[in-house]
Amino acid sequence: MRTAPTILHLDMDAFFASAEQAAKPSLRGKAVIVGGLGPRGVVATCSYEARVFGVHSAMPMAQARRLAPNAAYLVPRFGLYRQISEQVMGLLRELSPLVEPLSLDEAFVDLEAGQAAWDEGSARLAAGKLRADIRAVTGLTGSVGLAASKMLAKIASEQAKPDGLVLIEPGSERELLAPMSVRILPGVGPATGDHLRRAGITTVGELAEAGEDELVRLLGKAHGVGLYAMALARDERAVVAERDTKSVSVEDTYDVDIHERVRVRTEVQRLADRCVQRLRGAHLSGRTIVLKVRRYDFSTLTRSETLRGPTDDPAVVREAAARLLESVDTTGGVRLLGVGVSGLADYTQEDLFAQAGAAAAGEPVGSGEEVAVEPAVEPVPVAERRWHAGHDVRHAEFGHGWVQGSGVGRVTVRFETPGSAPGRVRTFRVDDPALEVAEPLPLVERRPGDAGVPAGSPAAAGEG
């Protein structure tokens, strides 16, 4: 293990909820809960103001509503979160070529590999600058842990929350770990934790005292040896640069099981189009189309079809997904549907028009010239648009806003932007032709000479 705290772990603070607060001035300082809003929904994340009421990630949304009835409940906007994540990951890659993303809002960085740090002092400087850059570029905050290993850096970032920096000095690791719960260690989940508790082991110190032989007897050789090493603060895992994306997929869980076969087909077509949008957004194509169906009894079926060559043609993906659906019995109802594309490439092969036509006719797909095909984008009828709570809209007269809620043929919109004061609320018919779905606005308003000023901050408002 290295002798300097040059492994950094970044974890953005309440990422989804913080992004929503930054985008919506009326929600700053208030309880915000992001997740699925239906009866089967769960909390994806929540603001620190909501955590005061006992709300936490993975909690059933119905329980969250009982604990915090006055909180703002929003559907996730993953497009916005990915944009912010790309900005953050870009800042990390400026520090080092070795960046290991764990999720949209979390990553390890080997500062030594990028010569950004070589000792405690330089590591602190690099981490401090990173936190300032993240705030300037995104308007959000992140917590940073520094240590000589990945395990300890992640523990340090947990201690740093929210919006802090914690460095674990080499040599102090065992003393720090000893009183902590065994659940703090990688690989110790609820089942392993309960098994150790029944053996009288609840802390990392007790794990170390038990010895390697006893842990091997309790947990098996591989797990026992690994946990004993971690209990002694030994973690030789390297930071691994991000791997290539293996697949692109989208899925929806429905509040009420879908029984009508026509509706199931329509949903599969819609998911196929969304999947292609994401595929094209990543400048990728793929050969294998995958359909996922979770039925009323929680049984999950997957079907796949491999094409002769990679494609990003929505017609091809839609038709393949429809064929796959024909082999699935949806009697009794469907609670989840998903469409994915794997076997990815950064180019498109085959004559896409021919491929779509041959596939529809059940003919074998032959090779042909590469053809550039523009996606067929059909406008969604206004009456069929879904007004999701928290999503962006634009009104011909009132400008940009976001959906506060909808129902009984009405949609309520608050008109404000990241850089404005809290805005006014107005209600419209769901089929109002002046109201349309909009793209998220940037969270940060830039000015010449600025690295970036968080929208809505005193500086952005011209205050001292």
Domains and CATH numbers, the chain: 1-170 (3.30.70.270), 175-231 (1.10.150.20), 247-361 (3.30.1490.100), 386-439 (2.30.30)
Regarding beta strands 142-147 and 165-167, do their DSSP bridges make them parallel or antiparallel, or are they unpaired?
Answer: parallel
Mean pLDDT of the chain: 85
State yes or no: is 175 an active-site residue.
no
Q: What are phi and psi of 415, to 5 degrees?
A: -95, 105
pLDDT, average across residues 22-51? 92
The pair of structure tokens assigned to 231 is 């209990």
Kindly tell me if the per-residue pLDDT of 397 is higher than 50: yes
Across 117-121, 375-379, 384-388, the highest mean pLDDT is recorded for: 117-121
Q: What is the CA radius of gyration of the chain?
A: 25
Six token digits for residue 425: 């609320």
The pLDDT score that the predictor gives to residue 364 is 37
Quote the pLDDT of residue 78.
87
Percent of the chain with pLDDT over 70: 86
Confidence of residue 372 (pLDDT cuts 50, 70, 90): very low
**More confident: 458 or 117:** 117
Q: How many CB atoms lie within 10 A of CB 76?
A: 18
pLDDT at 356 (0 to 100): 43
Per residue in 270-328, pLDDT (tens digit) is 999 999 998 888 778 888 999 999 988 888 899 999 888 888 889 999 999 999 999 89
Least confident of 182-196, 202-216, 414-428: 182-196
Closest CA to 415 of 431, 402, 434, 429: 402
Least confident of 133-137, 251-255, 295-299, 361-365: 361-365
Rounded CA gap, 176 and 205, in Å? Answer: 10
> Given pLDDT bands bounded at 50, 70 and 90, which one contains residue 247?
confident
Report which secondary-structure segment, H or E, holds 26.
none
Q: Are 92 and 105 in contact (CB under 8 A)?
A: no
Q: Which of 106, 112, 173, 416 is catalytic?
A: 106
The answer to whether residue 351 scores a pLDDT higher than 70 is no
**Structural contact between residues 148 and 6, judged by C-beta atoms closer than 8 angstroms:** yes
Is residue 382 predicted with pLDDT exceeding 80?
no
* CA separation for the pair 140, 336 (Å, rounded): 33
Angle at 81 between CA 76 and CA 87, to 5 degrees: 175
What does the pLDDT average to over 331-345?
90
| Predicted confidence (pLDDT) per residue in 151-205, tens digit | 999 999 999 999 999 999 998 999 999 999 999 888 788 888 888 999 999 999 9
Tokens of 325: 């659906």
Examine the pLDDT at 137 and tell me if it is beyond 50. yes
Give the chain's length.
464
pTM of the model: 0.71
pLDDT exceeds cutoff 50 at 387: yes
pLDDT at 245: 67
Give the distance, in angstroms, between the CA of residue 10 and the centroid of all CA atoms in the same chain.
15
Rounded distance between C-alpha atoms, residue 358 and residue 313, angstroms: 14
For 93-98, the CB contacts below 8 A with 24+ separation are: 95/8, 95/126, 95/130, 97/241, 98/238, 98/239, 98/240, 98/241
How do residues 52-90 score in pLDDT, each as one tens digit? 999 998 899 999 999 999 999 999 998 899 899 999 999
DSSP annotation of 239: P
CB 26 within 8 A of CB 422: yes
Strand partners, 147: 7
Beta pairing partners, 35? 43
Question: Across-strand partners of 166?
Answer: 145
* Least confident span in 50-64, 101-115, 207-221, 354-368: 354-368
Of the ranges 67-81, 243-257, 444-458, which one carries the lowest mean pLDDT score? 444-458
